[in-house]
Structures are given as structure tokens and as C-alpha cells.
Amino acid sequence: MTNVSIIGAGRLGTSLGHALRKKGYKIKALSCRTMSSAEESRKIIGEGIASIDNIQTARVGEIVFICLPDEEITKVTRVLAGSDINWLKKFVFHCSGLIRSDVFKPLGDKGALTASLHPIQSFAQKKTPSAQFENIYFGLEGCDEALALSAKIVRQLGGYPLILQPEDKALYHAACSTASNFFVVLLEMAVSLLRQIDLQEEKALQILLPLVKGTLHNVKKFNIRSSLTGPVIRGDKESIQKHLEALRKFPPYYETYTRLAAQALEMAKKEGRISPQKIKVLKNLLEGK
């Protein structure tokens, strides 16, 4: 069973199709919102019928990947379930980290074997090296038969399966979003602050990236809490006070800083790396007391 159809061949769908083809799967068809986008994806993948017709795309695949935005999955599922496709024993996966596989109930009622298969990775462009899927975890949730196949696919891609319970998907996805999306938000905040001292964005990023990489290296080599450095963990009231004074003219950043500093203070407290007296002083400072 190697014939694959991809509905929603955007950045993830195209990257996945390209990686699967390299592992011996046959990409029979792929669909996008526009024909030009579908043709672009087909060219990157190297095979498959490009289309804007989701039904015809799904028809030719033994395995159907639906790589659409979350808000589109339910709608497309209903359209597919209302078609004349024989769904018996077809495998259908969506790649949402949040939506549960029971969104596919209309297809499951027609005999499809369904699951969610979510790579814990970000894809910034369609033309992504297949190595992007290696040594990462994939969140999997669904029926037993579909879980078995999805775990096999994950291992073939060089990844690791993480079996999830349906009720745990929201917390799982919140964790992934915090680590990826909000990390980008914090980096944008840091770059914006450097731009206030007349540095261009490119230069600011060039300055900060080695620091970011060093921090991630420490987290990997040691652990999260041991990698926490800076004025909070030192109990350095003067430094934090100066940070707050400088940030008062940027209220959103001020609020973000105080909340993150308070969380860092809790981490330091649990680690026993700061005295109770300093904890009280810093807590009052962060609360504006």
C-alpha cells in the first residue's frame, strides 16, 4: 500500500509528499486551491496529477493525507464523505496537531481507517529538504489500524511516533505552539528592542542568534532549569529595575517581561538557586510594589 494522495499540497503537504516519494511511496495526485499552486507542488514532488479537485485527488490514493488549515478539515471531510468514492479500507490522515481524528467520523462510517499525523516541526516553504522530518516526533491519534500504519510511515521518514489520547490534543498542541510560535514572538520582541537603538533588523538578528543557539545547546546538553541564566536567577534587583525603567515606554513589552520574569522567578525558587529574601524583593518589584 504505497499510493498516496495529498489534499492541500501547501508547505507541509508538498514537503511531506517529497519526503514520502524518496521513501518509495507513489504520489498519485495532489490538490491545491489554485492550479498554479498545484503545478508548483507537483514539480517539487516530482510526480502526481496536479488538480484543484479534492474528490478526484482522494479517489486515486490508498492513503490520503489532508494537509489543510484546521478550519478547512471538517468542511472538506463532509464533501469527501458525500462523494461516490469507495472508502472501505482507505487510510485517511490529517496533519493537524489540535483537531482529533473523530472529525473523520463521516469517512469512518463509510469504512475508512483514520488518524491524525502531526509532525512536530515547522515548514516555512514548500521546498523543504526531507531531512526536516528526521529525528523529530510526530503526534499520532486515531484507530488502531491507522495508528499502526502512521507509526510505520513516521519511522520510514526517520522520525519517532508519539501516541496521543484524543482528550490530550489541546494541551499537546498548546505546548508545541508555545515552543515554536511564541518563541518567534519573543525573538521579534528582542529584535524590536534592539531596533530602538538604531540597529537594523538583519543586524539585530545576527547579534541575537548566537545567544539563542547557545541557550538551546545548553538546554540540550544539560536541562531546562539548569540553563536559566540572567538577572532573575542571580537575584539582581538593580538590573531588573533598570530593565523595567527602560521598558515602561513600551507597555506590551513591559507586561511580557514582567510575566516572564515572574515565571523565571518561580523556576529559580523550585531549584533553590535564590534566597527567600531575594525572591520576595524581586516579586514585589515585578508586581510594582
Res 269: pLDDT: 87
CA distances (Å), origin 107, targets 90, 92, 115, 164, 232 = 9, 8, 11, 21, 53
As given in the structure block, the three cell numbers for residue 85 are 468514492
Per-residue pLDDT of 76-128, as tens digits, reads 999 999 999 999 999 999 999 999 999 999 999 999 999 999 999 999 899 89
- pTM of the full structure: 0.89
Give the span between the Cα atoms of 182 and 109, in whole angstroms. 38
Per DSSP, 5 falls in state: E
Give the span between the Cα atoms of 78 and 62, in whole angstroms. 19
Write the DSSP string, 141-201. Answer: EE-HHHHHHHHHHHHHTT-EEEE--GGGHHHHHHHHHHHHHHHHHHHHHHHHHHHTTT--H
Per-residue pLDDT of 206-237, as tens digits, reads 999 999 999 999 999 999 988 999 999 999 99
Q: Is the pLDDT of residue 1 over 90?
A: no
Give the span between the Cα atoms of 244 and 288, in whole angstroms. 10
Residue with cell 529538504: 129
Q: Average pLDDT over the chain, rounded to whole?
A: 95
- 289 pLDDT tier (thresholds 50, 70, 90): confident
- 9 pLDDT tier (thresholds 50, 70, 90): very high
Res 78: pLDDT: 97
Q: Which CATH superfamily is domain 3-164 in?
A: NAD(P)-binding Rossmann-like Domain (3.40.50.720)
Any idea where the domains of the chain sit in the sequence?
3-164, 171-286
User: Which CATH class, in words, describes the domain spanning 171-286?
Assistant: mainly alpha
Give the span between the Cα atoms of 24 and 46, in whole angstroms. 13
